[in-house]
A and B are shown apart, each in its own frame.
Chain A
Amino acid sequence: MITVRPAKLEMWWVVVAGAVLFITAIVAVSFGAVDLDIGRVAASIMDRLSFVEIDTGFTAQQEAILWEIRIPRVVLAGMVGATLAVAGGAYQGSFRNPLADPYLLGVAAGAGLGATLAIAYAPSTTMWPIDPLPLFAFIGGLIGVALAYLVGYSTRAGRTSVTLILGGVAVAAFLTAAQTYLLQREAETLRQVYGWILGRLSTVGWSEVLLILPYVVVTGVVVIAGRRRLDVLSVGDEEALALGVDAPRVRLVMVLAATLGTAAAVSVAGLIGFVGIIVPHAVRIVFGTSYRVLLPLSILYGAAFLIIADLIARTIVAPAELPIGVVTAFLGAPFLAFVLRSSRGAGV
C-alpha cells in the first residue's frame, strides 16, 4: 500500500516566504532620501509593536519619516503587490490561461477612464471630502468588469471563458476609446493621466492603506478559500461538472473577488503591470502548479516583489521618482522571457 501525498503547502515554504517579505520590508523602510539605520528601524518597530520599551535613538523627525512616510508606503506597496499577484493567479486558474492577468476583463480600461474623468473634471481635491481619483478609478474598474460580464454572458453560444474574455476585449476597446477622446479634448490633463497609468505609490501617510484594506482583505480571503476549486477547474468546465463543481459559478466568484482587489489597488497605485503574471509564474516554477500552493505564496512573494520595485523606483533617480510600472516592466519583461525559455510543462 502506498502512502498518498497530495500537493500541499509546506509550512517551511510559508516561513521562508514570510522571512523574505519581512527582511525586504525592513530594508525598504531604511532607504530613501534620508537613510535610516536598519538596526534602529527594527528597534523602533519592536518598540511600537510590542509592550517592550526600546530606546531607538531616532530624533522625532526621523521617527516621523519612518512612521508617517516610509512604513505606510512600504505597507501600501506590499498590499498592492500581494493583491495584484493573487488576483493574477486567480484569473489564470479561472480562465486556464497562463497569460491572464488582473487587468484581463476591462478593469484597467474602466479604471483608466475613471481616473481621466477625475483628473479632467473634478475641480480640485480640496473641494472633495476624499481624493476623487481613487474613487473614480475604483468605480470605473468595477463598471468595466460588469460590462465585460454582461457582454460575454449575453452570447447565445453558451457561457464559456472564451466568450467572457472576448466580452472583456470589446469593453476595454470601447472604454479606451472614450478615454482617448477625453484626453484629446482636455490636453492639459495628459501628463497627469500618463503618470497615473504608469503607476505611482506616492502616498500621504496611512489614508490609502486604510482605504484599500477592506477590499484587499476580502479579495485575499475569498481567493484563498477557493484555491482547491481552481485545481478542479484545471480539467476544464465539463469535467469539473462531472466532479461536482459548477465551473462558471466558481469563475464568477473568483473573478469578482480578484477584480474587487485589483480595482482597489489600481485606484491608489495606478496601472502597475506584470506583477500579476510574473509572480504567480515564478511560484509555479519553483513550487508546482497546484493553486493551493500557488495562491498563498503569491501573496507573500507579490508583496515582497512590489516592495523591491518601489524601493528601486524611488531611489534609482533620487530625488526624482521613476513610475513604479516602469520598474516592474523592466524587471518583469526579461524575467518572463527567461521563464518562457527555461520552462516546459510549468503551465507556460
Chain B
Amino acid sequence: MSAPVALDGVSVRLGGTTILDHLSLDVAAGSWVSMIGPNGAGKTTVLRCITGAVPYQGTVRIGSAGVAGMPVREVARMVAIVPQHPTLPEGMRVVDYVLLGRTPHRGSMTSESEHDLLLVGQVLETLDLERFADRDVATLSGGELQRVVIARALAQDTPVLLLDEPTTALDIGAQQEVMELIDRLRSQRELTVLSAMHDLNVAGQFTERIVLVSGGRVVADGAPGDVLTPELIDRHYGATVRVEVDEGRVVVVPIRARLGADESLDDSADGEADDAADKPDEEILDA
C-alpha cells in the first residue's frame, strides 16, 4: 500500500517569479515528513506540484511512476490532499462531501457502489464523525471541518497523503487532536505523509524528520533537533528563538532578543506585519 514520494530538481516559475528552484526531496514510504519555512517559501507549491495543480520542470514520482502526463484520475488514486483553505460547497452534507473522495474510483456515469458507501461509513466512524453525517459542511467548527476534510482525503484511499498547514486555523486542543489523528492513521494505514507546517513546535513534536524550505530550495533536512536551531530559524525566518529539549522533543520558544523600550514597539509592529504577510504570499502561490 505505501509508496515513496520523490521530487527531483523541481522548478516552478509563475508570472516571472521563481517559486521553486531545483528543489529535490524524498519522502520514504510510510514516513511522515514536515515541511517548514517562512511564508512564501514555496511549501504549498511543493504540494501542488505533487497533485499536478501547477506546471513544473523536473520530475515528481509517486511509488515508481512519474506523475507528469499521468491521467489526473490515476494521480488522484495515488495521492490525496487536505488543502489549507478547502472550498465548501454551500448546502452540501458531510456525507456527500466525504463521498467526493470516491470520485477517482468510480466511472463518471456511475453511482457510488456498496463498497464506496461502506468505506465512507468506516471513515466517518474512524474520525468520530457519524453524528455529523447529515450536517451542512458550512456549519462545522474549525476542528470538525478539518476532520471532515481529512475524511474526504482518507475516502480517496491513497497511499500518499498531503496536508497543507493542517493545524493553522485550529485552537491548541484541536491542533493536538488532529495531529494525533494523522499519526494514528499513518501507522494504521501505512500512509506516506508530507505536511506543510506553520507551527514549528507542532512539527517538532509530531514528526521525525523536518525539511526547511526557503527561497524555493531545501536549505536544511533532518531530525527536529538538527533543523530547529536558533541559527537556522534566525537566518530563514528572521526570528529570535531559544530551543529547548523536553522529554526528547524539541521545543522552540520565541523570545524578545532586542530588549529596550524603543525596540519593543518595533517588535509588536513586526508581529502584525507577519500576520498581514500571510495573505499576499498565498495569493502569489494560488495565482
Contacts and interface: CB of A to CB of B under 8 A. Distances in A.
Contacts of B100: 231-232, 235, 243
B121 A2 contact: yes
A276 B19 CA distance: 43
A325 to B, nearest CB: 30
B41 interface: no
Given A228-B108, A235-B100, A4 B133 contact: yes
A239 B83 contact: yes
Contact of A2 (B73, B133, B156, B287): B133
A158 B124 CA distance: 37
B260 interface: no
Contacts of A345: 90-91, 136, 138
A236 B89 CA distance: 9
A231 B96 contact: yes
A298 to B, nearest CB: 16
A188 B258 CA distance: 82
Nearest to B103: A243
A262 interface: no
B72 interface: yes
Contact of B96 (A7, A158, A243): A7
Contacts of B92: 234, 289-290
Given A232-B103, A235-B100, A290-B92, A246 B72 contact: yes
A234 B72 CA distance: 18
Nearest to B138: A345
B53 A347 contact: no
Contacts of A232: 100, 103
Greatest chain B CB density within 10 A among A228, A231, A243 is at: A243
A244 B103 CA distance: 7
B156 A239 contact: no
Contacts of A347: 90-91
A143 to B, nearest CB: 30
A1 B81 CA distance: 26
A239 B95 contact: no
A4 B102 CA distance: 13
Interface string B112-139: 1000011011101100001001001010
A1 B121 contact: yes
B83 to A, nearest CB: 6
A2 B120 CA distance: 10
A226 interface: yes
B268 interface: no
A200 interface: no
B108 A241 contact: no
Interface residues of A, number: 34
Contacts of B95: 4-6
Interface string B36-68: 000000000000100111000000000000000
A299 B92 CA distance: 22
Contact of B120 (A4, A7, A241, A289): A4
Interface in B134-162: 136, 138, 156
Interface in A214-244: 225-226, 228-229, 231-232, 234-236, 238-239, 241-244
Interface string A308-337: 000000000000000000000000000000
Interface string B245-287: 0000000000000000000000000000000000000000001
A3 interface: yes
A4 B73 contact: no
Contact of A3 (B53, B80, B83, B121): B121
Nearest to A7: B96
B89 A289 contact: yes
A311 B83 CA distance: 51
Contacts of A346: 90-91
B5 interface: no
A246 to B, nearest CB: 6
B4 interface: no
A73 interface: no
Interface string B73-105: 111110111010011111111011001110110
B111 interface: yes
A7 B93 contact: yes
Interface string B218-258: 00000000000000000000000000000000000000000
27 contacts: A1-B125, A2-B125, A2-B130, A3-B121, A4-B118, A6-B96, A6-B99, A6-B111, A7-B96, A157-B287, A228-B111, A229-B108, A232-B100, A234-B87, A239-B83, A241-B52, A241-B72, A242-B51, A243-B76, A243-B100, A244-B72, A244-B76, A244-B103, A345-B90, A345-B138, A346-B90, A347-B91
Given A4-B99, A242-B53, 10 more contacts: A235-B87, A235-B88, A239-B81, A239-B87, A241-B51, A241-B52, A242-B51, A243-B103, A244-B77, A289-B89
Interface of A: 1-8, 157-158, 225-226, 228-229, 231-232, 234-236, 238-239, 241-246, 284, 288-290, 345-347
